[in-house]
Structure 1
Amino acid sequence: MDSIVVRGNGPLKGQIPIAGAKNACLTLMPATLLSEEPLTLTNAPRLSDIKTMSELLASLGAEVSSLQEGKVLAMSSHDLDNHVADYDIVRKMRASNLVLGPMLARLGQAVVSLPGGCAIGARPMDLHIHGLEALGAQIELKDGYLHAKAPGGLKGAQMKLAFASVGATENILMAATLAKGTTVIENAAREPEIVDLATCLRAMGAQIEGDGTPRIEVQGVDRLHGATHPVVADRIELGTYMLAPAICGGEVECLGGRIELVAAFCEKLDAAGISVEETDTGLKVARRNGRVRAVDVTTEPFPGFPTDLQAQMMALLCTAEGTSVLEEKIFENRFMHAPELGRMGASIEVHGGTATVHGVEKLKGAPVMATDLRASVSLILAGLAAEGETVVNRVYHLDRGYERLEEKLGNVGAQIERVRSS
């Protein structure tokens, strides 16, 4: 397996372009299943998860072409010939379950394996199932597969999600676009990726109001047409690279970044002593004078602090002045990076869903092991500020969520390289 070698070498300076959002693109791609006409996505990220979703759509009969070095995805689902999303593909990535709603809406049937992905919690399908059943679907779990059908078509309904689940909101939203009548989703997720999906679906002819609020209303239409849509900037990649100069010092401009994508995160950076300035082309980030200050963080659904930035924020707080408390309220098992940071000299105590970080003056390089996607990059960030050499092993997770990370960090002065396995 590949590893990443990082050597701490002081402040960073320059610009880092922010790619299109992985989580948005993985949601937008299944939307092609809703129409016989082509859907084209621009500003697509070049990641292994995108390839996996392309493989899944192709297995269902869709055509997916990667253009302009992968930055444009041209898709067409005019001739779907399969309604079974096989385990061998779905197990690689949890977002695969997002084909369920679109296939039900257009084909009236779908068989989808229970999903896989990072080992950061159960993330069950209950909310997806309950929402689609409210629209009239009949769903049964057999042999690890969800067997769903809607022989009379889907019908609009009013529902309230028990939790503001992003995936459930996305699946139900896509299904509702072709359901007969009006669908109202209460306690809907408000993430920018939801807004991006709704914007794309409207471009395809859907009638949607309220995205970005807890109440989304959808008036079903008979059919959707083709469209071209730009993928929104990746707020998690944005936050990750904003932390690089915060940890190492220096000044980095994240091109394409916008405050509204990471407002709660920026509030915590400000409290820690990190300057974030909007520019004409993005966000400029620099550490103010002196050592970073400790801050407390609680992960919450958007617009709160993102769970997908918790591990990276912990890396920053390892060398902060004082004691920080991080509370994880979205996923269980999401502090698996803490023992690895401990190998680098961090002082972290984990009790259930709470981690207490006692800041130390300096981290020291060490061999560490990545346990999931965000843990991978948190260890790399820590290595950028550590004395000596840090070797991050099992970085195959990294390629699922970060496009050309070594190149982007190297261009602003980081000493980082990938060592290919033989």
Structure 2
Amino acid sequence: MTRHALTTGQPPYRLDSTGTDIQGEAAALREYGPATRVLLPGDIPAWAVTSQDLACRLLTRTDDISKDARQHWPAYSAGEIPADWPLRVWTDVVNALTAHGLDHKRLRLPLAQAFRPRRVRALVPHVENITGQLLDDLQATGPDEEVDLKAAFTGRLPLLVIDQLFHVPGHLRSPFRGACGDLFATSLSSEEMNAARLRINALITELIDYKRAHPGDDLSTDLIAAHDAGELNGQELIDSFLLVIGAGHETTVNALGHGVVGLSTHPDQLALAISEQVPWERVIEEILRHESPVATVVARFAVRTIHDEPTGLTFEEGDVIVVNYAAAGRDRLVHGDTADDFDVTRPTAHRHLAFGAGAHMCVGAELARIEARIALRTLFARFPQLRLAVEPVDLKPVSSFISNGYANLPVVLGPSAS
């Protein structure tokens, strides 16, 4: 029987800011019911939602649930949240991630246009070419040598695709690659987080200046045009770049990493994928369900008091709500008693929240799926005997309770099939 911290007299569950055991914490939170009281870093009280069905109901209540702290988090607007709160980067930014209502529609529009089907389809040959070039480079590694696949492949591919989307000049590519990860490191001090934000803002400003001088058919030019037309202010322009570069990179890196681990440690399922007895599209959905690339999403706010009839829970106006996608992906009410198992034949694999739901659903979801499908299919076709160089339990996670991924990915490639 599940229980809720408030009804048992227990104190709120304190979330681990280091993300040491994402799935262990998710399982512990599920024991308290569909949602429970937690403490975010800095002892900020919040609700953590772990039920897939409850999460879907809340995420689609567009008028009742907001992501705009300025409008709908009373403690924030009253100045009660410390200036050095380590998660302020997730509430202070002004882009489609943190906007509500008409502002959200305005800020999301240029991003949605950039990810329209024609532009996404046009990126497919680039994804294939980048994948092939990276794997050609990897081929120089001996079949029995250990290599960090994140540094060489899974961490590089998504940023190179974003470079293509934005047409980032060559001299800025390496600096962006080094700056993105710190935005998700929730264990950093406020000083370290501020320094990371200033570093990437400076890079974005340099990119904007370059793209003004070198416009093209790309997302950079579209966003700059929206700013020049008065549709975005200066901060909104920078923060919109930040959203796509940061989120588009980190989440896909994590998905690729989990795909490598899941498939290489389940050779029977890898065989199903390589032979395409199970289509790669279904394989990718199970990877996303089993290990959501984003573990916990910070943060949403109740615009008004909400009573959820199916669960009997009440969220008061101004309550902070975080959705634990990692927990929802293994909800036994949706996926049965085998929810913790990696199973590419699972009929409910597509029922996950890896890309969110409702008005804030990720605009780049289809591109991320394409990247994962091309990258993993090509990787295992080239190196079908690829294996981890360490036990899965010895893989070091990134230091974040938001981002669910690996700090590195040591593998042995084995002989090439080509």
TM-score range for the pair, normalised by the shorter chain length:
under 0.3
Structure with greater helix share of residues: 2
Q: With the length of structure 2 as denominator, give the TM-score of the two structures.
A: 0.23
RCO (CA 8 Å, sep 6+): is it higher in 1 or 2? 2
